[in-house]
Amino acid sequence: MEKQHEVLTLIEEITRNDGSKYYEIGNMVHNGRAELAAERGYIKEVRILQLNIPHSKNVIKYEDFINSHYQMQDESMDHWEEWKRTPEMDKVVTAILNENHVG
C-alpha cells in the first residue's frame, strides 16, 4: 500500500462518547471519516470550526508528524482512531489554534 500524504486544511472539534471534546487539525477526508464514525457511534459528534487554514510552519510540522505516525482510516473502520500527540505536538496544535483564533 502506498504511503498517503495528507494535507491538513481545517480545524475540527470532536466530541468523544464520554462528552469530552478535543480539537483536531484535519482535512475533508478526515472530517468525512469522523462523520462516519459519529454515525456508527464511535464518537458523538464532529464539527468543522474553520476551513482553509493557512499552511503555516506549525501546520507543516503537525502534517509531517501525522503523516509519519498515522494512516487515514478507510470506510471499513470498526473504531475511531484518535491521533495521539506528543507534548511537543500538543504545543504545535495550540499554536495552530492561536494562529487561527480558535479555542
Q: What digits encode the pLDDT tens for the residues 23-55?
A: 999 999 999 999 999 999 999 999 999 999 999
% residues pLDDT > 90 (the chain): 94
Segment 68-92 mean pLDDT = 96
Instruction: Give pLDDT, residue 1.
Output: 45
Look at the block and give the residue holding cell 478526515: 30
pLDDT band at 103 (very low <50, low <70, confident <90, very high): confident
pTM of the entire predicted model: 0.93
d(CA 96, CA 27): 14
